[in-house]
Structure 1
Amino acid sequence: MELLRNAVRPYAWGSRTAIPELLGRPVPAPHPEAELWMGAHPGDPSHVIGPDGTERSLLELVDADPVTQLGEKCAKRWGGRLPFLLKILAAEEPLSMQAHPSAAQAAEGHAREEQLGIPRDAANRNYPDPTAKPELVCALTEFHALAGFRAPDRTVKLLKAIETPGLAKYTGLIEAQPDPSGLRALFTTWITLPQSALDSLLPEVLDSCVRHVQEHGEFAVECRTILELGEAHPRDAGVLAALLLNRLTLRAGEAIYLPAGNLHLYLHGTAVEILANSDNILRCGLTPKHVDVPELLRVVDFACGEMPVQCGDSGERVSVYRTDAPEFELSRVEWAAGQDDEISLDSAGPQILLCTAGDLLVTADDGEKVELRRGQSVWLPAADPPVHVRALGGERAQLFRATAGTCED
């Protein structure tokens, strides 16, 4: 059981306050800080801090002794890799619109690009690794996102509410076929429009969204989002694609699970994110990075309807966010002010514990103890004994626990 020193990723869309505040550093930071990574990702692994203050890469520890660190089943199932990455995500501005491949799609795409000789760090590389990338994001603050295709009848209603002469024929396209096939046809049409057609259609749509917001229309929230995206990316087909997605506002503790093929876009807010340890991303737009439309269309799932929002299956104090992802499981433990009862955590696999509020004491069955302050995290190898956690100081406390999913024999 050892404390972690974790890497901060300074992407341009990040917040200058959220992560520094969590870590107890001066606010605002000099530059945007977008993600705090906890895990053994080759690009920026965490470092474990030994009792004498020395540090060693978690990736090196796992590589040197995967059975001790991950457990025999997990090491066998994932080829000696820690299968998940835990993050704090702090979005001040919208990210790119994107989807992730299934395990089969990733394996096939990776093999194909390897055969073509595309360097793994090339800008046009879609599959730098052969693994899937499902993810779950749980809000720490109010968190805004677009995720999954809205039910077609609702999309028709939205498009009619902002209809313009140039938009009318596209409204008719989805109205005539209000199902996943109709969504695929409209989505494909929009993201392959010639730039000249986009330059004509987008200003019409944005002007109509302004009017709808001024009139306090039914889709004012959706229209504000389109205007925000249109201002940041004025000639991008992704602005039109955003009209097709569910607009979500998550409260603290609420989460969404994004399986393979789910088209999504994080807009604003701070969240805990857990995902498979993979870099495979197919971007749709709203980014200067590579967009491969044919490959995107192979991956995107056009199933439609309301996006499920989870609050976690609650036990006595522990809430578990259920998914079908074999790579990870996320749970949340809460202590109200004045509560200090002990919660026992047992696992046959690797764990990362992250404190997001208050102070915590983690005690192992062998007597080892670690105090976790807000923003700190600890690595628990599979070979470690069970631990018990309680709140310190009488204040509200919160713990997130990342574990590998169930590993079959």
Structure 2
Amino acid sequence: MIGSNMATAYWARRGWHDGWVYSLNPSLQNYAWGRTDSIPELLGSEPSDTPVAEAWWGAHPASPATVDCDDQALGLDVLIDRDPNHALGVDVAQEFDGRLPFLLKVLAIDAPLSIQVHPSMEQAAEGFDIEEAAGIPPTSPARTFRDRSHKPEMIVALTPMTVLAGFRDLPGLRGDLHLLGKDGAALLELVENAESPASAVTAYIRSVLALPRGAHVVTTLASLNSSADPSAQVRAACSALASHPGDPGALVALAMNVLYLRPGSACFVGDGTVHSYQSGVGVEIMANSDNVVRAGLTPKPINVPLLLDLMNAVPATAERPERVTEGAVTIYSAPVAEFELASVSGGDWTAPAGPRIVLSLAGSTTVTSADEERELACGEAVFVPFGDGEITVRTPGHAVIASVPLSAARGTGAPTGD
């Protein structure tokens, strides 16, 4: 471990610039549901021949953002591991085992994502230990729990977005099942005869995911889009079927809340909330995890018993993050310890000490710390460690700052050593 009086010289010898503000190269994910234009346009490149679904600015070991160092691309996770107390602050480093607790993404959605759910911290730890003991390789398709963390997440729309999150009220679901006629009668009976709303949803989800692809009731559902004044759920389910023909997961969509997010609007998805992003472009911040259990609209495996065990089946309105605007900044906060997001438009904001990722989304952005000033073009991002203290972010356009909540980022970042 490097003593505090040696830290500056050590990093200088290794080619790090003064001030610990590091330019980040995002990790790009070419999932089939992505767009070919939005993320390349943000990054200042030509449209791609293949979909670019996600850009990741973070330190997830499976796909970290990188910094250029010693003539090589160094993962942000490796950089932080060299001095987690300085990078994260002592409190954050201790609470999250020396790992950056959040992951910042931009999502560009051309076709609906899979309907999915994420485990709680306890469920993730238990599942990870079981799969580790079974010897399932971390990259195996049979692997569900790739780390020991939960994965709460928050999406903030950059364009109009359609989002499915949580289960809708049962009267609305019963009304749409009535429209399916005799094909929906068995499902309607399950919902009407259940002992509670949660048991009704559970029975319904179990039943629809047991249907074969192309079941007649799914074909009938697709025809409802042409009916007079279809519900938001019917429209979302039919739109999903256009991308996933015959997938019974569309009937799961029929049971969910539909949100139409305007730019700047947000949705929070906590542990156990079944959800799917259907269309649009947004900034997402989440816990630094990749634990996903799917419930349809995907060719990937669906583990129905595990899904039913993890999901919150109680119908409820979708959860929105707390949103506070002061001058040029809007702070989006969620009931989690891992992250919050600040959005700065046409002005400046002083961000408190903490591990931070600053991403310029429109126009140029200036990041000023005690030691340096950095100009970011649209699509450029930097990691600013706790040890840099406060920073000022100024933009005539739009930038976001991902960080841990202020209450979590209070510890000193001074390097320590033997």
TM-score w.r.t. length of structure 1: 0.90
The answer to whether residue 364 in structure 2 is matched with residue 359 in structure 1 is yes
Q: Report the Cα distance in structure 2 between the residues aligned to 1:159 and 1:322, rounded to whole angstroms.
A: 36
Give, in angstroms, the shift of residue 323 of structure 1: 0.9
Contact 2:111 2:243 in 1 (8 A): no
Aligned to 2:349: 343
**Aligned residue runs from structure 1 range 37-116, under 5 A:** 37-49=56-68, 55-116=73-134
Corresponding residue of 2:376:
372
Query: How far apart in 2 are the matches of 1:315 and 1:152?
Result: 39
Q: For 1:344, what is the secondary structure of its paired residue?
A: strand
Q: Deviations over 1:21-59 (max 9, x none)?
A: 111112x22211111110111122112246x98753211
Q: Is the CA contact (8 Å cut-off) linking 1:48 and 1:379 kept in structure 2?
A: no
Aligned length: 388
Shift of 1:152: 1.2
Distance, in Å, in 2 between the alignment partners of 1:231 and 1:299 is 28
For residue 205 of structure 1, report the CA deviation from its aligned partner. 2.3
Alignment-derived partner of residue 11 in structure 1 = 31
Q: Which runs of 5+ in 2 are unaligned?
A: 1-20, 412-418
Per mean C-alpha deviation after superposition, the further-off stretch among 172-181 and 235-244 is 172-181
Residue 319 of structure 2 corresponds to which residue in structure 1?
Answer: 308
CA deviations on 1:202-246 (whole Å, 9 max, x unpaired) are 222222x1342xx2x251x43232222223333322111111011
* Mean Cα deviation higher: 225-234 or 265-274: 225-234
SS at match of 2:163: strand
Residues 329-376 of structure 1: CA distance to partner in whole angstroms, max 9, x if unpaired?
Answer: 1121111xxxx5x421112x210011111112111123x010011111
Report the equivalent of 2:137.
Answer: 119
Residues 54-63 or 269-278, more deviating: 54-63
Structure-1 residue corresponding to 2:4: none
Deviating more after overlay: 66-75 vs 231-240: 231-240
Tell me, what secondary structure is at the counterpart of 1:285?
A: coil
d(CA) in 2 for partners of 1:150 and 1:119? 37
**Aligned equivalents of 1:346 and 1:55: distance in 2?**
28
Structure 1 residue 12, shift from structure 2 partner: 1.2
Cα separation, partners in 2 of 1:93 and 1:218, compared to 1, 3 Å: closer
Gaps of 5+ in 1: none
1:96: how far off? 0.9
Aligned to 1:241: 252
Deviation for aligned residue 1:306: 2.1
Match of residue 267 from structure 1 = 278
Please provide the CA RMSD for this pair: 2.0
Give the structure 2 partner of residue 385 of structure 1.
Answer: 389
For 2:40, the aligned partner's letter is P
Contact persistence 1:254–1:311 (CA under 8 A): no
Measured against aligned partners, the alpha-carbon deviations of 1:243-296 in whole angstroms (never above 9, x if no partner) come to 101111101011100001111111111100011111110011111112111111
> What TM-score comes out, normalization by structure 2 length?
0.88
Check the 8 A contact 1:255/1:311 in 2, yes or no: no
* Distance in 2 (alpha carbons) for counterparts of 1:186 and 1:173: 6
Say if 2:166 and 2:274, in contact at 8 Å, map to a contact too. Answer: yes
* Number of the residue aligned with 2:408: 407
Q: CA deviation at 1:192?
A: 2.2
Q: Distance in 1 between matches of 2:184 and 2:127?
A: 35
User: Which residue in the other structure is 1:283 paired with?
Assistant: 294
Structure-2 residue corresponding to 1:163: 180
* Residue identity opposite 2:323 in structure 1: G
Contact 1:254 1:310 in 2 (8 A): no
SS in 1 for 2:408: coil
Is the 1:153–1:175 Cα contact (8 Å) retained in structure 2?
no
**CA pair 331-343 structure 1, distance change in 2 beyond 3 A:** closer
1:203 match: 219
Looking at structure 2, the residues matched to 235 and 390 of structure 1 have their Cα atoms a distance apart, in angstroms, of: 49
Distance 2:123 2:169 in 1: 26
CA–CA distance in structure 1, aligned partners of residues 244 and 345 of structure 2: 40
What secondary structure sits across from 1:306 in the alignment?
A: coil
Distance 2:35 2:68 in 1: 27
User: Counterpart of 1:383 in structure 2: which amino acid?
Assistant: G
Amino acid at match of 1:81: R
Tell me the amino acid that sits aligned with residue 331 of structure 2.
V
| Aligned-partner Cα distance in 1 for 2:100–2:258 | 33
Deviation at 1:173, TM superposition (A): 2.5
Residue 325 of structure 1 and its aligned partner are, at CA, apart by: 1.5
Task: State the match for 2:337 in structure 1.
Answer: 326
> C-alpha distance in 1, partners of 2:408/2:72?
32
Provide Cα deviations, 1:86-127, integer angstroms capped at 9, x if missing partner: 001111111111000000000011111112222221112111
Identity, in percent, stands at: 36
Deviates more, 1:249-258 or 1:121-130: 121-130
